[in-house]
Amino acid sequence: MRFIAALGIALAAAAALPAMAADLDCRLGVTAGAVYGRSQHVASNGGAYTDTFDVNGRAGGVQFGCLAARDRMRYGAALDLMDTNARGNTQELDPNQNFFAETSFDWIGTMRAVGGYQMDPRVMVYLTAGLAFSALQIRVCRVSGAFAGTCAGSSATVWGVVGGVGAQYQVSRRWSLNVEYLAFGFENKEFPTPATFGDRGGGVRPEAQVLRAGLNFHF
């Protein structure tokens, strides 16, 4: 439900983008790719519950952007939102070896500026940077001893910055393909405590990189 609401907000904001030039090129597309992330659960006092562990998975979503042209230069803005199943877990450190900690990205979105160079009529390369936001979930489970199999979890929305590179290939006047690499730096937000499983007041130190491809319709 949160994904659908955020998608609606992103598309509404995109629709409000002002025209930057008479030859404005706008695109609406779908994306698919992979998330390569990292996380570490940390207590309020700075003590680590876990070592740093991988949080990986698939991602897919929608993207919208508009670019203006000046000679071979291209400039504009882009929005996107991806649903993802990226998750990872690890055994907690001594003296909490009876517990497993998990972090997952529910969705990841960005609002970015784009600057590109048209290498030839079909190929454009570009740099992009801006704001990022994501819904994170954590879960802590006891796997042995008393109350084995019991779990507790919590969630929070985090903000950050994103930067990356990409290339677009114009298949026809209306259709294009693009590939992107994006690197995210999220805030290490104090995380809600999952019941009696120890506080995560020091955050869960989320990191993420995304490699994806997109199919776009131009209008």
Query: What are 89-138's pLDDT values in tens digits?
Result: 999 999 989 999 999 999 999 999 999 999 999 999 999 999 999 999 99
pTM of the predicted model as reported, rounded to 2 decimal places = 0.86
Q: Residue 95 is part of a domain; what is its CATH number?
A: 2.40.160.20
Q: What's the whole-number average pLDDT of the chain?
A: 89
Number of structural domains, the chain?
A: 1
Question: Using CA of residue 67, residue 162, residue 169, residue 11, what is the dihedral sign?
Answer: negative
Would the pLDDT of 20 be above 80? Answer: no
Would the pLDDT of 206 be above 60? Answer: yes
For residues 200 and 219, what is the distance between their CA atoms, to the nearest angstrom? 47
Would the pLDDT of 9 be above 80? Answer: no
Tokens of 50: 């876990």
Which pLDDT score is estimated for 184?
A: 98
Mean pLDDT of 52-73: 97
For residues 100 and 89, what is the distance between their CA atoms, to the nearest angstrom? 7
Instruction: Give the structural domain span for 94.
Output: 2-218
Mean pLDDT of 19-37: 85
Task: Give the count of beta carbons closer than 10 Å to the beta carbon of residue 200.
Answer: 24
Which pLDDT score is estimated for 173?
A: 93
More confident residue, 161 or 146: 161
What is the residue type of 99? F
